């Protein structure tokens, strides 16, 4: 069924923008007027038959689908599970949720998914048309739920996972917000001092006719660089950013970058724990929902966020396919923490691998959150101390020539 995007006036005279599916543009106008909405412009944005002919996803959806936010997906998943549990058919449930989507992009995606289901596709097949919006884990769990007839339970679990991950990300982000804000404000204050305050004070030293102390000369040179050469600094930062971005897109560059992140003092251990928590949570959830271990490992390696750990998981999948154990294979690569390996080994021996994986995820998620909060608490005095040292150096560099002038007068 064609989908139309419209701009209209409601009964209160307010302008509204939304989408609607209908057999034709005339039917869409009639449908809107019947609901008390009077369109001022309407255009077709998607025709399901066109996808069949082209065999692909609409360009507009490919370009914008990645902008759908995870909280919006989590809310939709939770609401869809509730409606299915209440006895709604899948298509009716999706139609009910479409008007509640916050973004127009997500409304279009849901509408296109509904049309694909009506045309005979399964829910998982319809979701797979939008890989930038729905992850492999999401699609495979839905497929497992459809096969086993427990789709509403799977959707509830998916909502739980997405909400937990989002909550962890929010806690980490909120813990780092204040230190990062202080850092950038400190940089702005430092730039203001060096580019505007220091030149006015040090200008009196040009008429002294005597050699200035080394710290004062260094301060004047730095001040001149910030005042007239700021564009060089900005260009250098942009150049580094571009080079690193280009390197990350290459095979060797991406591998080197991920290896460097894991070797950072303190932060490398934090990144490892975060990746292991993501690995354990996703793998445990997939196994609980009937996805085979090999298939689950193939999905998990793409979501850990680090090339080295992904290669370790890929090697583990090869060993498992040959009859080996997951824990032994991961232990051989020496990337996973010892405790996580031991818990996986216990899970394999006891037949409770899914439960132990979820416990591993809980442990490392808590450790990551605790570490981040501790680092953010430590960063605040470090930034203040750093700024204090810089200001002290500026003050001493200005006072040294003044002291020498006083000695000459005496």
CA pair distance 199, 193, nearest whole angstrom: 9
Query: Of 384, 177, 278, which Cα lies nearest the Cα of 270?
Result: 278
For the chain, state the CA radius of gyration.
Answer: 29
Q: Structural domain boundaries of the chain?
A: 1-46, 171-410
Look at residue 2 in the predicted model and tell me its pLDDT: 65
Q: Which two tokens stand for residue 59?
A: 């360009």
Q: What per-residue confidence (pLDDT) applies to 278?
A: 86
Distance of alpha carbon 265 from alpha carbon 405, whole angstroms:
47
pLDDT of residue 360: 93
Q: Is the dihedral of CA 75, 58, 282, 351 positive or negative?
A: positive
| Confidence at residue 290, expressed as pLDDT on a 0 to 100 scale | 80
- DSSP assignment of 54-113: HTS--HHHHHHGGGS-HHHHHHHHHHHHHHHHTT--HHHHHHHHGGG-SSHHHHHHHHHH
Return d(Cα 18, Cα 16) in angstroms, integer: 7
On whether the CB atoms of residues 284 and 354 are closer than 8 A, the answer is yes
Say what the pLDDT of residue 55 is.
45
Q: What gap in Å lies between CA 295 and CA 391, rounded to an integer? A: 58
Give this prediction's pTM: 0.66
The token pair that represents 143 in the structure block: 């497929």
Q: Which among 144, 140, 111 has a CA at the least distance from the CA of 128? A: 140
How far is Cα 298 from Cα 317, in angstroms, rounded to an integer? 7
- Placement of tokens 């850990």 in the chain: 304
Tell me the C-alpha distance between 241 and 247, whole Å.
10
**Over the stretch 228-252, which tens digit does the pLDDT of each residue have?**
877 888 888 899 989 888 888 888 8
Q: Are strands 3-9 and 15-21 parallel, antiparallel or unpaired?
A: antiparallel
Q: Is 47 exposed, middle or buried (0-12, 13-18, 19+ CB in 10 A)?
A: middle
- Residue ranges, the chain, pLDDT below 50: 47-66
Task: Mention every residue, 6+ apart, whose C-beta is less than 8 A from residue 408.
Answer: 210
Q: What kind of fold does domain 171-410 have according to CATH? A: Receptor-associated Protein (1.20.81)
- 3 pairs with which residues across the strands? 21, 46
For residue 49, the cross-strand partners are none
CB 114 within 8 A of CB 131: no
b/e per residue 259-274 (b: at least 16 CB within 10 A): eebbeeeeeeebbbbb
């Amino acid at each position: 069924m064609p989908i139309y995007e419209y701009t209209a006036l409601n009964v209160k005279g307010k302008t509204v923008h939304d989408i609607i599916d209908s057999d034709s543009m005339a039917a869409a106008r009639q449908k809107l007027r019947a609901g008390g909405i009077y369109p001022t412009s309407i255009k077709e944005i998607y025709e399901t038959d066109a996808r069949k002919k082209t065999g692909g996803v609409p360009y507009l959806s490919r370009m914008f689908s990645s902008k759908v936010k995870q909280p919006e997906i989590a809310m939709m998943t939770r609401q869809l599970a509730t409606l299915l549990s209440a006895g709604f058919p899948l298509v009716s449930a999706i139609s009910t949720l479409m008007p509640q989507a916050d973004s127009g992009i997500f409304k279009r995606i849901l509408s296109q998914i509904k049309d694909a289901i009506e045309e005979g596709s399964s829910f998982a097949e319809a979701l797979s048309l939008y890989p930038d919006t729905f992850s492999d884990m999401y699609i495979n769990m839905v497929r497992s739920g459809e096969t086993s007839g427990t789709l509403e339970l799977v959707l509830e679990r998916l909502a739980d996972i997405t909400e937990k991950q989002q909550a962890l990300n929010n806690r980490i982000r909120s813990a780092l917000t204040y230190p990062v804000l202080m850092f950038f404000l400190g940089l702005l204050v430092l730039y203001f001092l060096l580019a505007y305050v220091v030149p006015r004070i040090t200008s009196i030293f040009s008429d002294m006719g005597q050699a200035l102390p080394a710290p004062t000369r260094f301060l004047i040179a730095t001040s001149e660089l910030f005042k007239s050469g700021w564009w060089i600094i900005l260009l250098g930062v942009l150049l580094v950013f571009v080079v690193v971005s280009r390197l990350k897109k290459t095979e060797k560059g991406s591998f080197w970058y991920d290896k460097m992140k894991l070797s950072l003092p303190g932060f490398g251990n934090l990144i490892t724990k975060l990746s292991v928590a993501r690995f354990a949570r996703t793998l445990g959830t997939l196994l609980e929902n009937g996805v085979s271990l090999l298939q689950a490992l193939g999905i998990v390696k793409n979501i850990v966020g680090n090339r080295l750990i992904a290669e370790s998981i890929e090697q583990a999948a090869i060993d498992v396919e040959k009859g080996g154990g997951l824990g032994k294979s991961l232990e051989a690569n020496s990337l996973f923490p010892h405790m996580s390996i031991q818990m996986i080994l216990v899970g394999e021996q006891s037949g409770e691998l899914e439960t132990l994986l979820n416990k591993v995820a809980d442990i490392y998620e808590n450790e990551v959150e605790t570490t981040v909060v501790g680092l953010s608490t430590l960063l605040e005095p470090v930034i203040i101390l750093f700024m204090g040292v810089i200001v002290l150096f500026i003050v001493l560099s200005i006072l040294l020539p003044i002291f020498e002038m006083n000695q000459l007068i005496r």
